[in-house]
Chain A
Amino acid sequence: MRKSGRQLFAGPYLIWIIGFILLPLAMIIYYAFTTSGGTFTFENVAAIADPVHVRSILLSLKLGIICTIVCLLLAYPLAMILNGLKIKQQNFVVFIFILPMWMNFMLRILAWRLLLSNNGIVNAIFQFFGFGTVKMLNTQTAVVFGMVYDFLPFMILPIYNSMARIKNDVIEAAKDLGASDAIILFKIIIPLTLSGIISGIIMVFVPALTSFVISDLLGGGKVLLIGNVIEQEFMQGTNWNLGSGLSVVLMIFVIASMALMNIFDKDGGGTAVW
């Protein structure tokens, strides 16, 4: 009796879920499968096969995968080093590595624009050493730089958390039994941190795949990701149905990539980073 009474506390939230989570999703799906006149159509979703859209989704996948791999390669050794520090140092160092993540996202992009621009710091250093000016801003490289900078902490934290859970005894036992460092890394540490790696990959890949701001501000309008195409349909064009159709396709890509990663994640709880 008391228990069923307590359930009622979730009532307002249930209404909120229906009104502001499920209904908006229903709207976007409705728009995706109708014309502006309201008749049913597959055209908006099928428009993904348009060469322009294919190119942008392939570019999104490419940059997203590069960004995820770079983040993983940077974050994994970092997490191992962090984990090897003394506890007191550890808290401090982790603090330092997540602090930039707390600064406004837009300002981090601003910083990279300053660094990479033709009269920016990086080029000033290049010129000092006689390399001449290298055009970096408004290229795909700049976009990847921005993405890695923005999303790196999302890779560091889950890997570091899963590494911190490994008991030292296990590693010592392996050492006593004569395992080399490489064997310990590949047979013990990597398998035990797999769920952290997977949630890191999801948390970096999904925002990288769907980003439109980084490509807009660091790519100077020349790097057209699928997010940019969708954004333009809504903000500059007027074809909301097409924009919704492409959004639904993007959503399918996100779900598919998560499902794909979950196959590798045997113990489940990996996504619970927060």
Chain B
Amino acid sequence: MTVLPALIILLPLVSAALTVSLSARMGRRVSDISVVLIGLSFAMSSLELWSAVWGQAPRNEVVLVGWVTFFRDPLSALLMWVIAGFSLIVHAYSRRYMADEPGFVRFFVLLNLMTAALLVMVSASHLVLLLIAWHLVGVLLYLLLGQDLHSQQAQRYAFVTFFTYRLGDLPVVLAAVLLFHAFGTWSLPEIFTALKGGSDATAFGLPLAGVVGFLVALSAFARSAQFLVHTWLPYTMSGPTPVSALMHAGIVNAGGVLINRFAPVYVHAGEVLHLMFIVGLVTAIIGSVMMLTQHDVKKALGYSTMGQMGFMIMECGVGAFSLAIYHLIAHGMFKGTLFLNASGVIRSARIDDGVPPEDLYTFIVERRPVRTRRPWLAMAIFTLAVPAAVLFLAHYFVEQDFFEKQGAVILLFFGWMTGAQLIFATYHMRAENPVRLFSLILVSFVIVVVGYSLIAHGFDVFLRPDPEFRKALYAAAGIRLVYFDIFVAILTTVIVLGWLYAYYVERRNMPTEDWNRRLRQLFYSVVSHELYVSTLYASASRHILSGARRVNARLGWR
């Protein structure tokens, strides 16, 4: 059983080697080998997860040779299972999707290598091995996104992705080296054991845990498209659809995985968790706003992923590390399905647009009056009342100090926001039957709040069995109660004011003031230009390049 993690990783590598060597003989049927071997890898990872869930094998580290050492813990078992599963789906899908594309064999080789690199990344217990996998994921993604060698656009955006990934590769290198200097080992389990009792080591005159935590967070931000290093994500749709699916379902989550892997560091780096919370919050808001203003559906999907990554980092910021893992799996399944289903939807729409050809139907549909009356006030009260009720009930029936559990309250906020989104996006606050509408909303709230609470607890118990460690993580993420209360008050005020503004504008049909209209136009203009971040980067890049050209010319290229 101890060789199981190694076999799970080895099979995609064998698949890549066989694909290269047998492609000339087997032609496109060589992809069958990939599917079978990745399927086998998935079966083994299922076995590994099963043994992790039921505790049938000792959870420890697998040392193969030298640096080639792997974690054998619940986190790696779960993530290996997820990666092998997604990879199997993408492999099976690509057999037909890529059948007529040039570079078919190259694509499958890269897909196999990417699977292996991701598997190593989530399970490596040696820092050098982790760095190798971390770097290779970036290079392989660059090649996969640039699969179409003739598309200038695909190449340009593959390059942007590659550069951002390189930018994100370097902080984690420095973090690894600092840990090595402090503890004299590259082994993560040994480093985490040494960190357990607290460490007074410093780096650059600052506490080591804080510096390492910050550097790891920087790398995670670049990989998970956090605000200011997000510009690559919405533009990566020029790659093949299976790559988009794999990227949005798995690769982009690498940031959350890295932060989870370094969780023992963050117990001693609370201030970095606060930074993560802020960065995640800003990214979630900006990603969501950008998503709503895009005309291109693919870019909108990209920004949607950015928003979700913001939530994931935010969850880490409140100490809910295990919930972030659940979030990345759930989002991966959801987004992967969307991408892989996209071509089917387009095909169906071409065959049948869904509108019956009868004139009578068209007449009725086009002339049906739009329901204008919406239960704004009731809805606003409802969205305020339900979370407040949950909070008070939890206070009286679950734990007296529930108000002081900051992570839980923040997650309740998250549930509240998700619920509010449901009202707008899913139900559109319209229904023929108001009772049914309110029932649906209530059920949604209950599912969101209870679901998140139960799942968070379940994942926490599975991934971090030590209750003291879980408590320490949440404690590190906490801030002084007075600041927390102020923060919650500000958030509540913003949301309530938003409701009131929307209510008055729609219900009272308020005339828009000139300054207000201009302000909104300005806001829309800035947002539709994606906050000018890409423009700024492009301009900086042009200046760097033109400066280099001038200096080269002046020095005669010597």
Is chain B a partner of chain A in the same complex?
no
A-binding residues in B (CB < 8 A) = none
